[in-house]
A and B are shown apart, each in its own frame.
Chain A
Amino acid sequence: TLTEEEGKPTFNFKEYMVQKGASVNHALDAAVFLREPLRIHEAMRYSLMAGGKRVRPVLCIAACELVGGNESMAMPAACAVEMIHTMSLIHDDLPCMDNDDLRRGKPTNHKVFGEDVAVLAGDALLAFAFEHIAVSTIGVSPPRIVRAIGELAKSIGAEGLVAGQVVDINSEGAADAGLEQLEYIHLHKTAALLEAAGGEAAVVLGAILGGGSNEDVEKLRNFARYIGLLFQVVDDILDVTKSSNELGKTAGKDLVADKVTYPKLMGIEKSREFAQKLNRDAQEQLSGFDPDKAAPLIALANYIAYRQN
């Protein structure tokens, strides 16, 4: 989408993602283990352990480390963020919502376990996310954990993720949706966890739990908002410029569904310029921090901006 800048490969982003992703997988596996009633826990684990890059949890840990915390302080929150992401996918795929049969090439949760269990597994993951942060976070003062719980709750509810889904449902087929409504959807849906690289809550939780100052937390919140929006703009551009084969999904799907997109509203060129600006704005938020510790987040912003699928 964007032309690659001159590389500065002092930081190995791929290795970082693999290593942190493995820690997260290990922690998730231990947190949601098989117990009675088995079928619900199987359903929870089926979707939770289905893979994915664990971008949100890694964002959470990276933000925590950026402000001076360590991985273990953020790990329960990182897992919680992934549990909630998983829950939103399970419910989103249901027949009464997007009615998807496949997710990452595997049958969706309700296809395997039935709609009833899929609804319950989602509800259980949502609840357990909060229990896990409240019970398993160690090395962080209770007021900070309480604050993190408030942020997480806000990011899901009717001011966050769910609100985005409602507006998204309403805007389908409504080609007259304006830029303002589109940004609302993306700020509340993408940046508030739903899409692949969002994660405002992930970043903010990490910053709070890692002991960041209010100023740190707000800078990182802005960073997350910029990259969430960036992700969506790039996604929209790829949807019109790439073939289905390259994307691994149905290209032009948004056009067919008559969903509002950035290229539709402002054209491809302006959308690309907008993406450049968002990436610059995002990285600007990190300028006051230790460059070594900021490297993972900067690499992530670039990864989102320059991805080809």
Chain B
Amino acid sequence: SSPALSSQPQSIHFDLKTYWKQLILEINQKLDEAVPLQYPDQIYEAMRYSVLAQGAKRAPPVMCVAACELFGVDRLAAFPTACALEMVHEASLIHDDLPCMDDDPSRRGQPSNHTVYGVDMAILAGDALFPLGFQHIVSHTPFDLVPESRLLRVVAEIARAVGSRGMAAGQFLDLEGGPNSVEFVQEKKFGEMAQCSAVCGGLLAGAEDHEIQRLRRYGRAVGVLYQVVDDILEEQSKKLDYTDESKRSKGKSYVEVYGIEKAKEVAEELRAKAKNELEGFEKYGDQVMPLYSFVDYAADRSFSFETSS
């Protein structure tokens, strides 16, 4: 496919695909253990169906691990939180797909959770995944690597990100907002999770407050960038294939609100903004490369995960 943006990537020396795929394997295995099949089976089946869905990119966990490793802290410190991010993210998605919300019968090419397990079970699966995420953090994070005071900040960060000032606010505005809400919705629905993931990685590693602030701005820019580029790619594929009806209702996509040229400008600005934040991490040397490469991946989609792994 043709690239959405024209400027050149700057992280060509780092093999993001290998790094990411390796982490996906590790995270999938840990998620498999974290959400075991047990009594009552139905609820765990519903939870596992979404959490272990084939083809999930695990972007929030990978971002969290990369941000933690930036500061030279072992990824073992980040795995429980990385898994929790995926759990709360899936919980949000399960509820977003419900008939009374976005009414999406499918996700990632598979029937959505309520389509398979019923609306009641889907609500409960989401309700169970949020706390399981927090429980997983506090019961699995190695205390020798991460003091409890940091865990409290991590829990607070995730709770804020999914709550009424974060993703729930984004979903609310997405359902009810007018055309002017597109920036807010994109920031909240898509920027929050990336921001939270980067910040949690930094918090686990004991980063200083000014570094956390940088990760916050970086993560938000990357998350929104990813979505804006998704909107651009969707628009481009629509031009090629008229049968591909967009599911997104009007007023929810940058492209629909501002047009494709403006959306590309916004994407370039976000790419520059995200990289600008990373310049503040120069002293960590090559360890910042994964974070750079996420920016380019979000913009260019230079590889895909579609191969069965």
Using a CB–CB cutoff of 8 Å, the interface residues on chain A facing chain B are 35-37, 39-41, 44, 87-88, 91, 94, 96-97, 114-117, 119-124, 126-131, 134-135, 141-143, 145-147, 149-150, 152-154, 156-158, 162-163, 165-167, 169-170
Contacts and interface: CB of A to CB of B under 8 A. Distances in A.
8 contacts: A37-B169, A91-B124, A120-B164, A120-B171, A122-B127, A124-B163, A130-B155, A158-B38
A40 B164 contact: yes
B132 interface: yes
Nearest to B35: A158
Given A131-B163, A134-B155, A153-B138, A142 B149 contact: yes
B168 A127 contact: yes
Contacts of A96: 118-120, 123
A117 B138 CA distance: 30
A94 to B, nearest CB: 7
A122 B120 CA distance: 14
B85 to A, nearest CB: 13
Contact of B128 (A35, A124, A156): A156
B interface, over-half SS: helix
Interface string B143-165: 00001110111011011101111
Nearest to B126: A123
Contacts of B100: 114-116, 119
Contact of B131 (A143, A145, A157): A157
Nearest to A96: B119
B98 interface: yes
Given A128-B164, A157-B128, A142 B172 contact: no
B139 interface: yes
A37 B164 contact: yes
A41 B164 contact: yes
Given A141-B148, A150-B139, A158-B43, 13 more contacts: A39-B172, A40-B164, A96-B120, A120-B168, A126-B130, A127-B158, A142-B147, A142-B149, A149-B155, A150-B135, A158-B47, A163-B40, A170-B42
B131 to A, nearest CB: 4
Contacts of B207: none
A253 B155 CA distance: 41
- Which 5 pairs, one residue from A and one from B, show the smallest C-beta to C-beta distance? A153-B135, A131-B159, A124-B164, A115-B100, A127-B163
